[in-house]
Homo-oligomer: A and B are copies of this chain.
Amino acid sequence: MEPLLLIPGPTPLPQEVRDALARPMIGHRGEAFATLYRRVTARLKPLFGTGQEVLIFPGSGTGAMEAAVVNLFSPGDRVVALVAGDFGARFAAIADAFGLAVDRLEVPWGWVVSPEALRDRLRTYPPGEVRGVLITHNETSTGALSPVQELARVAHQEAGALVVVDAVSGLGGAPLALDGWGIDLLLTASQKCLMTPPGLALLALSPTAWEAAERARLPRSYWDVREARRFGARGETPYTPAVSLWFALDRALDLIEREGLDAVFERHRRMGAMVRAGARVLGLQVLAGEEHASPTVTCLLLPEGVEPAALRRSLRERGVEVAGGQGALKGSAIRIAHMGATRPQDLLVAVEALGEALREHGRDVSPQAAVEAARAQA
């Protein structure tokens, strides 16, 4: 039997998506691909909460982050990067690599940067100095969900800054609205909530961001959104797209539409609640506070004496694959993803396996009680 893959990306592929992957190849300069291009990008708009074009590059989510940096900014531009975990740190590091002046607004892992903290930081700068605010929507390393809408409002009001949101592990699992929330660039990747293999980097820009892209002076070629938009107008891409992954994404969007976007979000919310409820009964601490708990991934702190690597092995023997902690949490945490094609039923299996694995590691816990607590949230 296939293991239950509950790592925060790549996520399990529905059978329909796997079937789509295996389709015969087609050319990328013909009508068949143009039709696919238009159908996929149009159907992504509700997930991005935008009427703007969605652009898709062959690349990973990290590539989408680089695309955001090189398209919006010029060397030396001041940006404030919200760092509440590994992926916030990555976004800041990418901005560093391209010579931006990066101010890291850091909070302990598991927390989120509050709108008040952002406001205070922005007020330390002269008006107009801060050109961008880099926000991680859903911090995959900690399982904390940022208040993006409020942060965006503060960034605009206090600094008139571009609001750049990495939603790699959140888009498709939680509401987002480029147009409605004042986001200027919203980016994601294929392999998380979108139930598609890794290899597609997706992003959309606000009209303000499009203007910034015209003025930005960082060198760019591969990630140039202007070229992507120009080719996109005729259903093409500037260079060969990852066609098979487009087939897969097209099919995954069918599944999302069939379930309904609100139902998808509600399922993710419930799955997060299930994992947290079950874990607490098992004596595990959820890293993120309940008010910021992610609907797509949960980071659990293990009790003294339980090694994450050993616990993950025990889980693997029970057919459940979870992720380890990142950074400073590598030796003390595990992460369970509940995103994409994963179903509430899968998490009952996972919670039970987690309970059994903890028992194997000497913890006197009741897997059945944990399953019941999880089921109550399902």
User: Which residues on A are within 8 Å of B, measured CB to CB?
Assistant: 2, 5, 7, 9-13, 18-19, 21-30, 58-63, 66, 93-94, 97-99, 189, 191, 197-199, 218-222, 224, 238-245, 248, 321, 323-324
Contact of A199 among B22, B99, B242 (CB under 8 A): B242
Given the known inter-chain contacts A58-B60, A59-B58, please indicate yes or no for A13 contacting B24, CB distance below 8 A: yes
Q: Is the CB of B240 within 8 A of A191?
A: yes
Q: Is the CB of B221 within 8 A of A9?
A: no
List 12 A–B pairs whose Cβ atoms lie within 8 Å, in order of A's numbering. Answer: A5-B26, A10-B240, A19-B22, A27-B321, A28-B198, A58-B60, A61-B240, A62-B222, A62-B238, A63-B222, A97-B220, A99-B219
Known: A11-B25, A13-B24, A199-B245. 12 other contacts (CB 8 A): A5-B24, A10-B25, A10-B240, A12-B25, A25-B197, A58-B58, A58-B59, A58-B60, A59-B222, A60-B222, A60-B239, A198-B241
Q: Please measure, in the bound complex, the distance between the C-alpha atom of A324 and the C-alpha atom of B224, giving whole angstroms.
A: 25
| Chain B residues within an 8 Å CB radius of A7 | 27, 29
Given the known inter-chain contacts A21-B22, A26-B5, A245-B244, please indicate yes or no for A58 contacting B97, CB distance below 8 A: no
9 closest A-B pairs by beta carbon, nearest first, are: A199-B242, A62-B239, A197-B244, A22-B22, A97-B221, A18-B22, A198-B240, A21-B21, A66-B222
Copies of the protein in its oligomer = 2
Within the complex, what minimum Cβ distance (angstroms) separates A141 from chain B?
A: 13
Contact of A59 among B11, B12, B63, B189 (CB under 8 A): B63
Given the known inter-chain contacts A5-B25, A189-B240, A221-B94, please indicate yes or no for A198 contacting B18, CB distance below 8 A: no
Q: Residue of B at shortest CB range from A27?
A: B7
Within the complex, what minimum Cβ distance (angstroms) separates A235 from chain B?
A: 16
Given the known inter-chain contacts A58-B58, A62-B239, please indicate yes or no for A21 contacting B244, CB distance below 8 A: yes
Within the complex, what minimum Cβ distance (angstroms) separates A292 from chain B?
A: 24
| Chain B residues within an 8 Å CB radius of A98 | 219, 221
Q: Please measure, in the bound complex, the distance between the C-alpha atom of A13 and the C-alpha atom of B2, giving whole angstroms.
A: 25
Q: Is the CB of A221 within 8 A of B60?
A: no
| Chain B residues within an 8 Å CB radius of A61 | 239-240
Q: Residue of B at shortest CB range from A94?
A: B221
Within the complex, what minimum Cβ distance (angstroms) separates A14 from chain B?
A: 10
Within the complex, what minimum Cβ distance (angstroms) separates A288 from chain B?
A: 21
Q: Please measure, in the bound complex, the distance between the C-alpha atom of A218 and the C-alpha atom of B94, giving whole angstroms.
A: 13
